[in-house]
Amino acid sequence: MSKTIVIFNQKGGVGKTTTAINLSYALAKLGQRVLCVDMDAQSNLSSGLLEDYSEQASSTYTLLTDDTKDIRSLIKPTKLDKLHVIDSSTDIAGLEIELAQKGDWKEILKRRLDEIKSDYDFIFIDSPPSLGILSIMSLAAANSVIIPIQAEYYALEGVSKLIRTIELVKENYNQALTIEGVLITMFDARNNLHTEVFSEVQNFFGAKLYTAVINRNIRLAEAPSYSMSIFEYDKASKGAENYMNLAEEFLQKQGR
């Protein structure tokens, strides 16, 4: 059964795109058929997974504006046979104004992805770090949400707003939307504040919190600049170990 999952947090800098890249790559290494959809104008997922990435042509823009275009022609391969990308570029930055004029904008992404959903085990959407039409469209198209939360005090302040956003989308656009899981990122077990944040998030989300955490790791930050996942850049790093642990826990929760 295919599942569409949006990686979402309206706060930037929490490891959202890093998680989209490396969780997707790890799952593909484990034999899952995975598609990543880049809905962020910063295009970091696209440049991080595609060797020949070019900002000149955005597949996401075409996907959302041209219903006559075959979605399969917009899908690009990566270095892993089972991992594909619908890439983005800066041209989608102004797309929200264009989409707002369409009465059915909330349904466009879901409708297009439904055309190829059976081709994949998982479709991951990397959403923008803001709350706008592209983020709402991403949430409306998804079965569930993975929420990355940075291990810092201010992250806790935004959790209630984040949940309220998800609930509003659920009430108005996508009644089936659920929280898939919550992931602590940039974690340092030696830092008392980080362990306190983990405990607070665990108290709030319970079993939705992944036991796998993503530790602070400079190799994770470096990898995208070489158009690589952490598994290509440094497969022996703590970051690679963390994301493989997450992928295995993720699949276990899926019953796979």
* Short-list 209, 214, 206, 216, CA closest to 244: 214
Helix/strand/coil (H, E, C) string of 146-178? Answer: EEEEECCHHHHHHHHHHHHHHHHHHHHCCCCCE
Cα end-to-end distance, the chain, whole Å: 11
Q: What is the pLDDT along the chain (256 residues), one digit of tens a residue?
A: 799 999 999 877 888 999 999 999 999 999 999 999 999 988 889 988 988 776 666 789 999 999 899 999 999 999 999 999 999 988 887 888 888 887 789 899 999 999 999 999 999 999 988 888 999 999 999 999 999 998 887 777 778 888 999 999 999 999 999 999 999 999 988 888 888 888 888 998 999 999 999 998 899 989 988 889 999 999 999 999 999 999 999 999 998 8
The rounded distance, in Å, linking the Cα atoms of 121 and 135 is 22
